[in-house]
A = this chain, B = another copy of it.
Amino acid sequence: MKVTVWNEFRHEKESEKVRSVYPEGIHQHIASFIEDAEVTTATLDEAEHGLTEEVLNTTDVLIWWGHKAHDEVDNAIVDRVHKRVLEGMGLIVLHSGHFSKVFKKLMGTGCDLKWREVGEKERIWTVMPNHPIAEGLDEHFELEQEEMYGEHFDIPAPDELIFISWFQGGEVFRSGATFKRGNGKIFYFRPGHETYPTYYDKNIQRVINNAVRWAKPTTNGYPTYGNYQPLEDLSKGEKTDDL
């Protein structure tokens, strides 16, 4: 299994605070805890954002973290990632990646939400305990400080809703949701603001590892499309006498 962790990698360069949490960048930290996979990273400022045809064609699951520079992601690369997801590559979209071009293109909706950054408590409840992405978790777990994301979250109704967040300030949010698109599987996972040590949390790491396993491509006869001859002999069919 090959996993590529993509990060915008700008906050870490510009903010001392973020750098103090993720000195090597969020991507390097996420890459460090992915299990049972060959993990590489890619970032916005690399050529082709590090997402060349070759990299994507050999990636089984792509993890995406972006926030302040969504607009700088080249449309051609967005189309390339979109195409690869439809072909079967798994995609895990984290936190502010809800507003990335590729997630919006896959969802077909605005993907907007409410937000607040005061470091309040988030409590994440599992509402689909039998899902493999919830494997090994307790019924709920807490993050002492996170950015708030609140409903309405402008996404299609998820295929599966696994987690719902409670926020101290009074909001709720559909925090863990799966979507199947084309031949690929997508998981959106809410937590992960850059100024908090969210990706050091063992529960968060477990969810992401579970999601990587869940999102791996299915080996199948990739669907074909176009003009097809009948599988049945129409000339012998019931209607022949009438024609």
Q: Which residues of A line the B interface, CB within 8 A?
A: 86, 88, 105-110, 112-116, 118, 120-121, 123, 125-132, 134-140, 144, 148, 150-154, 156-157, 159-161, 164-172, 174, 179-185, 217-234, 236-240
The answer to whether A221 touches B180, judged by C-beta atoms less than 8 angstroms apart, is no
Measured CB to CB, the closest approach of chain B to A146, in angstroms, equals: 12
The verdict on A170 contacting B230 (CB below 8 Å), with A160-B157, A237-B237 known, is: yes
Q: Which one, B86, B136, B153, B237, contacts A109 given CB within 8 A? A: B86
Distance of A22 Cα from B184 Cα, bound (Å): 39
Count this chain's copies in the assembly.
Answer: 4
The verdict on A123 contacting B231 (CB below 8 Å), with A108-B107, A139-B221, A221-B139 known, is: yes
The answer to whether A228 touches B174, judged by C-beta atoms less than 8 angstroms apart, is no
Distance of A232 Cα from B238 Cα, bound (Å): 6
The answer to whether A151 touches B125, judged by C-beta atoms less than 8 angstroms apart, is yes
Distance of A127 Cα from B114 Cα, bound (Å): 12
Inside 8 A of A230's CB, which chain B residues have their CB?
Answer: 116, 118, 120, 148, 168-170
Inside 8 A of A154's CB, which chain B residues have their CB?
Answer: 86, 182, 223, 225
The verdict on A170 contacting B231 (CB below 8 Å), with A137-B220, A221-B138 known, is: yes
Measured CB to CB, the closest approach of chain B to A159, in angstroms, equals: 6
The answer to whether A166 touches B157, judged by C-beta atoms less than 8 angstroms apart, is no
Distance of A121 Cα from B171 Cα, bound (Å): 13
Max chain B CB contacts within 10 Å: which of A127, A130, A134, A181?
Answer: A130
